[in-house]
Amino acid sequence: MSRQLLIVTHSKGKFPEITAELQGAAFDFLNLNDIPSLPPKYEVEEPAMTFEGNAIIKAMTVGKKTGLLTLADDSGLEVDALNGRPGIYSARYEPGTDEDRYRKLLGELKNFPDDKLGAQFHCVIAIYDPATDKTRTCEGIYRGRIIREPRGANGFGYDPIFYNEELGKTNAEMTVEEKNSVSHRGKALREAREILKSDF
Which residue among the candidates 74, 100, 114, 115 is catalytic per the annotation? 74
> What is the C-alpha R_g of the chain?
17
Does the annotation mark 159 as catalytic?
no
Q: Show which residues are catalytic.
A: 74
